Amino acid sequence: MTQYLAKVKEMMGKFDRCTINQIPRDENARADALSKFGSMMEGVKDRKITVMVKSVPVIEEKHLKTRLEGAKRAWVEELLGVLWACRTTPQIATGETPFYLFYGSKVVIPAEIREETTRVVQYEPKENSQERSFDLTVIEEGRDRAYAKILRYKSMMTKSYNRRVRSRSFQVGDLVLKKVEVTKHVGKLDPTWEGPYKVVEIRKKGTYTLQDMEGKNLP
């Protein structure tokens, strides 16, 4: 409250005249709900949290491009909605939302504040402080469960992929075709394979050094 008052006085000094009107609490339900939501995050900023950086984008580029192109000039406002949806949507690999894994609590979406759901109406500061303390105590356990789910999900995906792969091996001197990269594939009628290339070295299982017909090694 002291910091808030100091900020107000600082802003008042920039105007020639200021008028302060007090709005009754029952007429300012939205601001009251927002203040309750802000108090739910109390203590989180000083807590050290281990963050796992993902090597794969959470939002696929084609999906993001479709949403933003549809919004046209309002793409900035649409981007915020896309990012919010991403952070508050449970992920398949973890079964949890990124918001929960970071803050340790379930997200309160704007619709719950606007429509005053049971969760917002029954909010009590004292009980909330106790629940937040408990959430921050068990959040590491929740992250461990999410990490275990990621490992299990990766294992399932690997097994599913391996079942559909037909293992083939080549010897030095064999001629092979190489699948065209997506960036090079222009149209539907273009060939999907290029070559032939000659196998000149076996690095490890499934990995080879190829050479074109002019004797130049492929990168």
73 and 100 in a common domain: yes
- CB distance 138 to 155 below 8 Å: no
**Which of 19-33, 55-69, 76-90, 174-188 comes out lowest in average pLDDT?**
55-69
148 and 54 in a common domain: yes
In a domain, 13, yes or no: no
In a domain, 182, yes or no: yes
**Which of 52-56, 114-118, 213-217 comes out lowest in average pLDDT?**
52-56
Q: Please give the C-alpha separations between residue 42 and each of 38, 67, 143, 192, in angstroms, as whole numbers.
A: 7, 34, 20, 56
130 and 198 in a common domain: no
133 and 206 in a common domain: no
User: Which pLDDT score, from 0 to 100, does residue 152 have?
Assistant: 92
Q: Please give the C-alpha separations between residue 214 and each of 14, 172, 198, 210, 217, in angstroms, as whole numbers.
A: 75, 17, 10, 12, 9
Measured CA to CA, the distance from residue 170 to residue 200 in angstroms comes to 10
- The whole-angstrom distance between residue 18's C-alpha and the CA centroid of its chain comes to 43
202 and 101 in a common domain: no
In a domain, 36, yes or no: yes
108 and 61 in a common domain: yes
In a domain, 183, yes or no: yes
Domain count, the chain: 2
Measured CA to CA, the distance from residue 54 to residue 153 in angstroms comes to 15
41 and 68 in a common domain: yes
Does position 46 have pLDDT exceeding 70, yes or no? no
Per residue in 148-177, pLDDT tens?
999 999 999 999 988 888 878 888 989 998
Q: How buried is 158 (Cβ within 10 angstroms: 0-12 exposed, 13-18 middle, 19+ buried)?
A: exposed
The rounded percent of the chain whose pLDDT value lies above 90 is: 8
195 and 141 in a common domain: no
187 and 106 in a common domain: no
Q: What is the residue range of 199's domain?
A: 175-211
Does position 34 have pLDDT exceeding 60, yes or no? no
192 and 124 in a common domain: no
Measured CA to CA, the distance from residue 46 to residue 133 in angstroms comes to 13
Higher pLDDT, 16 or 58: 16
In a domain, 16, yes or no: no
Per residue in 95-125, pLDDT tens?
888 888 888 888 887 777 777 777 777 778 8
In a domain, 70, yes or no: yes
In a domain, 74, yes or no: yes
In a domain, 20, yes or no: no
In this prediction the pTM is 0.48
Measured CA to CA, the distance from residue 36 to residue 67 in angstroms comes to 32
126 three-state secondary structure: helix
Q: How confident is the model at residue 47 (pLDDT cuts 50, 70, 90)?
A: very low
95 and 193 in a common domain: no
Q: How confident is the model at residue 197 (pLDDT cuts 50, 70, 90)?
A: very high
110 and 49 in a common domain: yes
